[in-house]
Amino acid sequence: MAHVVIFTRRDRGVLPSLELLEHRVSTLPATAEAVAHAPAGDLLIVDAVGELVAAKAICRLLEHDAAPVLLVLGEGGFAAVTPEWGASDIVLDTAGPAEIEARIRLCLASARAAAPAPTSGLTIDEASYQAKVDGRPVDLTYKEFELLRFLAAHPARVFTREQLLSEVWGYDYFGGTRTVDVHVRRLRAKLGDLESLIGTVRGVGYRFEQQDA
């Protein structure tokens, strides 16, 4: 199941068939402010039906996001779309659930294949829930690993403590943001010489710092 974030100016009906799939969906207004404060998604969907100029502007704002962008078009919108939009794929708003599922799956696979190489010295194996520093296993708790994995999946993007609580601990977690600080401190201690990979943005939150290999 993927977290899909939709940017649209419509109240509903962007991709009706998406509602039949088991993905987690967040719908936000198609504005620069919404993009700046959007939760991290596995796939970003931009609604371009009847709003081509605005949709292109949103796509350009999203071009530095690590997640792929799926552009939703009406029949008459294909001629306007060019590579400079930065979309990973396009789909008609009338597409059925099978097609949408396939396009989501392919977008996610392409994004993983195009992801930058692991930061020098640190490897993260999602299959075994194991992180290593210079080949040495790091003894992380489940939440420490999830926090590291999430930050590393969105390099250079700053997340507030509230966003990290939501994305890593879940919406139903009732603890305070102090939990994030504690886990970051423990994670840095376990990373040793690579502790600087978890950067602090004063007054905002944390981000994963990309380092040269």
Helix (H, G, I), strand (E, B) or coil at 79: helix
Alpha carbon distance 211, 213 (integer Å): 6
- pLDDT per position as a tens digit, 4-50: 999 999 887 799 999 899 999 999 999 999 988 888 889 999 999 98
Write out the H or E segment, with its range, that includes residue 153. helix 142-153
DSSP 1: -
Residues of the chain with pLDDT > 70, as a percent, come to 93
- pLDDT per position as a tens digit, 152-186: 989 889 999 989 988 898 866 677 888 999 999 99
In sequence order, what are the residues at sequence separation of 6 or more whose Cβ sits closer than 8 angstroms to the Cβ of residue 64? 156
Of 84, 90, 57, 37, which Cα lies nearest the Cα of 205?
37
- Would you say the pTM of this structure is higher than 0.75? no
